Amino acid sequence: MSKQPIIITGITLLSSLTALAGQITTPVVNVNVTNTSGNALLQQFDPSLGTLTGVTLHFGSASISDSNSIIDNEQGGTIDITYLLGHQVTFTLPAGGPYVPADAQNLNCSGGGAEFSNCSNSNNISFIFPAIDFDLTSAPQAPFLGLGTVAFPYAPSLIENLVTSTPTNPANLNLSVTNLLLTTTMSITYDYSTVATPEPATLGMAGAGFGVMLLVARKRARANRGND
């Protein structure tokens, strides 16, 4: 008989614990990429806030631009050659990626003459990529937990793809892809849960209930001994 009040009281205490959902977004980081690799560093999730349940990486609108040129000189004959020229920047993500904004455009070089042929062509290109989110919840949580930063590596690379007409004298061909500049922003939204601690009034009521039940149990035990 004395066990029943304790069980009921335990259930009362457990029912007063409530799981709360929270969300926090890190400060926005400006990312500027030129010709070298690097890391975008974003704030980690403070484990003292609760249990991490979701991770969403945000890329803001990205602008990427560069300057391209093609020069060729073929002794005799006709020049007609086209290359796809530009840059791409690869962001390595732990899950849901990679993210690879790129700018590239066909550039043609053509000319002709009885004794020699030469040509040159150049352009400046720019592309805008819309904002995009990546759900990284399935990625390992360890890199995101702590009081420091989590790194997202990025690496630029050239795009120099022949489209038509291989040059007769490749040594005379000069391709130039320069002045890469990618600008974007990055941030992370962390979803988490916490367990709310019972308020003092709730604990007081539960304690009072336990005391009453314990007193009733003792009286019943004494009554049973008296009947024996």
Q: What is the pLDDT of residue 2?
A: 45
Structure tokens at 19: 């799981």
Beta carbons within 8 Å of 176's beta carbon, 6+ residues apart: 67, 68, 69, 70, 71, 122
Same domain, 43 and 136: yes
Over residues 39-85, the pLDDT tens digits come to 999 999 999 999 999 999 999 999 999 999 999 988 777 889 999 99
Report the C-alpha gap between 115 and 76 in whole angstroms: 5
Query: By the 8 A CB rule, do 179 and 66 touch?
Result: yes
Q: What is the pLDDT of residue 10?
A: 44
Same domain, 13 and 50: no
Structure tokens at 204: 């007081």
Same domain, 152 and 204: no
Say what the pTM is: 0.76
Same domain, 50 and 155: yes
Minimal CA–CA distance to 58: which of 19, 23, 102?
Answer: 23
Same domain, 54 and 10: no
- Provide the domain limits for residue 100: 22-196
Same domain, 157 and 100: yes
Q: Which residues of the chain have pLDDT under 50?
A: 1-15, 203
Q: CA distances (Å), 99 to each of 43, 61, 155, in order?
A: 19, 13, 11
Same domain, 130 and 225: no
Number of domains in the chain: 2
Q: What is the pLDDT of residue 77?
A: 77
> 3 in helix, strand or coil?
helix
Same domain, 140 and 29: yes
Q: What is the pLDDT of residue 74?
A: 83
Same domain, 186 and 210: no
Q: What is the pLDDT of residue 76?
A: 74
* Helix, strand, coil abundance in the chain, percent, nearest 5: 20, 55, 20
Q: What is the pLDDT of residue 197?
A: 60
**Burial per residue of 84-100, b for 16 or more beta-carbon CB atoms within 10 angstroms, e otherwise:** ebbbbbbbeebebeebe
Q: What is the pLDDT of residue 154?
A: 98
Triad 156, 159, 163: Cα angle to 5°: 170
Same domain, 5 and 89: no
- Determine how many CB atoms are found less than 10 A away from the CB of residue 37: 12
Report the C-alpha gap between 1 and 173 in whole angstroms: 96
